[in-house]
Structure 1
Amino acid sequence: MSAPSTNVEKQKKRHRPAIWGMIAGGIFAAALFLAYLANLAAQGNEPGEGTADEPAAEAATDG
């Protein structure tokens, strides 16, 4: 059942801070994700890097 009288403009005004907060939170999360990806890319290893002490993993075969 709907409310008998709703003032849409008043509701828009009341919800504006919450909507801006959600937008700001989404932008902050996206910035953190991009920073994480940049960090992963910066710390990536070059082919041939690694420790020589560890043997290469053997491929699993079915017999």
Structure 2
Amino acid sequence: MSSPDTNLKKQKRRHRGPLIGMAVVAVFAIGLILFWIGEVFVTAPGPESEPAEAATEQVSPTELETGTVDVPPEAPVEEVAPGDTDVEVEQ
């Protein structure tokens, strides 16, 4: 059903403000998303940066075998017996 009293000029005038407001909000949201994506690309590490694991000091296998590796006090430590079957050893 259509409205019996339609005045298109009056309806255009009444809807102009809300439509402009919605357009401004949509442009602001798109600008905010583009800014966010740009910040992600700018702050991302590049290929020339060193990964976090490679930045730490590497421990040689001989140091691991002889027990000269410094362990931080907050690191979890579990004692293992030589014949323990629950321990998997990679070789």
Give the TM-score normalised by structure 1. 0.75
Q: Which residue does the alignment assign to 2:46?
A: 46
Q: Where is the helix percentage greater, Structure 1 or Structure 2?
A: 1
Deviation at 1:25, TM superposition (A): 0.5
Q: Unaligned regions of 5+ residues in structure 1, if any? A: 54-63
CA distance in 2, matches of 1:30, 1:45: 25
Select the structure of larger CA radius of gyration: 2
In structure 1, give the amino acid aligned to 2:32: L
TM-score, normalization: structure 2? 0.54
Q: Residue 43 of structure 1: CA displacement?
A: 0.7
| Cα distance, 1:49 vs structure 2 | 2.5
2:13 — aligned with what? Answer: 13
Cα separation, 2, equivalents of 1:23 and 1:42: 28
Aligned CA-pair RMSD: 1.7
Aligned-pair CA distance for 1:44: 1.2
Q: Percent identity?
A: 36
Q: What is the rounded CA distance, in whole Å, between the counterparts of 1:49 and 1:7 in structure 2?
A: 68
Q: Report the secondary structure of 2:25's partner residue.
A: helix
Summarize deviations over 1:19-59 as a string: whole Å, max 9, x none: 00110001100110111011011111122532126xxxxxx
Alignment size in residue pairs: 54
Question: Matched residue of 2:22: which SS?
Answer: helix
- Residue segments in structure 2 that go unaligned for 5+ positions in a row: 55-91
Structure with more relative contact order (C-alpha pairs < 8 Å, separation 6 or more): 2
